[in-house]
Chains A and B, each alone.
Chain A
Amino acid sequence: MMDEGLRSELGKQGIFTTTLEELYNWGRKNSVWPLGFGLACCAIEMIAASMARWDLARFGAEVFRPSPRQADLMIVAGTVTKKMAPQVVRLYNQMPEPKYVIAMGACAISGGPFKQGYNVLKGIDRYIPVDVHIPGCPPRPEALLHAFMKLQQLIDAQALTGGSRPRHLLPEAPSEFLVPEYGPHDLEPPKNPDVWCPPVVGGRET
């Protein structure tokens, strides 16, 4: 590994150095293909972000794929009803590794205005690992662009080897997550304990 001082010195002389890991991450972070997948009103903002005015193509992410087999990123754009949750998790499972999730909007991260209701999942992070959460109801396209830049930073910092490498490079880490069943009263199970545990505030689960 080259130290940073020598590297910047070489850079001043016009010699560009890189590592395999950086090259790999540079390629990956600039071609994150999202799954064409909208659940509610947030999807309209997602569509706006992909069009000419906000132009998601600048981040190499304009290719919304119609099949999970070709997608790298799932943007959970909108309200996840309990009836829809099994399908969302199944689609996530069908995406090849490495895969990332952006939970877009108040509903996708927590249930939003429907949190006290009976039929909306209180955050998709109860079943699948979410990389970036965006608040807002709905978030503006700028917020989605910000989430994209955050995701690019996250991908850029991922190590290829060693103990801190990401989930998709660990042979024992799962690629598939538990798909809940739509039961008579609630989703069964109501959460995946491997992915999510309830936050404890003042000795009480919220």
Chain B
Amino acid sequence: MTPPEPSSYLVLALLLVAALLFGLTPLALAWLWARFFSPAKPGPTKHAIYECGLESRGDAWIQFRSGYYLYAILFLIFDVETVFLLPFAVAFGGLSIGGFVAMMVFILLLAEGLVWAWQKGVLAWK
């Protein structure tokens, strides 16, 4: 096997340079334009966090309540499971025993979550 000619790599290097220039030239022109014509005008309101014109209050790093996991479980049971149950029902006739067992495990895991949520009283309308 002969080594590739150096010129074939040169094309790649040239392409890289062209790509860099293509990206950097407009940026440099914009920077030069701003430097010569457009004075920077920073300010406290301008740099403030944008919140639809209101002044922002508190910290952006807030913690979500871990209690929301219940909604995640119920969403999995009633929404995601349905998405899998429909193709399962359609393909039921031609399904191998392995596929059937895998599906049963999946349903059992989620049914376990349903039983647990039911016992916690999440399903009761208060």
Contact = CB atoms under 8 A, between A and B. Distances in A.
Interface of A: 67-69, 86-88, 90-91, 93-94, 96-97, 160-161, 168-171, 174-176, 179
Contacts of B119: none
A175 B47 CA distance: 12
B53 interface: yes
A91 B39 contact: no
Nearest to A91: B53
B69 interface: no
B120 interface: no
B125 interface: no
Interface string B32-59: 0000011101011110101011110000
10 contacts: A68-B50, A69-B50, A90-B53, A91-B53, A93-B45, A94-B53, A97-B41, A161-B37, A169-B37, A169-B38
Given A94-B46, A176-B46, A87 B54 contact: yes
A169 B39 contact: yes
A175 B41 contact: yes
A27 to B, nearest CB: 11
Given A87-B53, A87-B54, A90-B53, A175 B46 contact: yes
Given A93-B46, A97-B41, A169-B37, 10 more contacts: A67-B50, A69-B50, A90-B45, A90-B48, A90-B53, A90-B55, A94-B48, A94-B53, A170-B39, A174-B41
Contacts of A179: 45
Given A175-B46, A176-B43, A176-B45, A97 B53 contact: no
Nearest to A173: B41
A94 B52 contact: no
B123 to A, nearest CB: 39
B10 to A, nearest CB: 36
A87 B52 contact: yes
Contacts of A91: 52-53
Of the listed residues B38, B41, B50, the one surrounded by the most CB atoms of chain A closer than 10 A to its CB is B41
Contacts of B55: 90
B45 A94 contact: yes
Contacts of A168: 38, 41
B65 to A, nearest CB: 28
The 8 A-B pairs of least Cβ separation, nearest first, read A87-B53, A175-B41, A171-B39, A93-B45, A176-B43, A91-B53, A90-B53, A176-B45
Contacts of B43: 93, 175-176
A171 B45 CA distance: 18
B37 A160 contact: yes
A134 B44 CA distance: 31
A94 B54 contact: no
B122 to A, nearest CB: 37
A142 B52 CA distance: 28
A82 B46 CA distance: 21
A62 B45 CA distance: 27
Nearest to A177: B45
Contacts of A171: 39
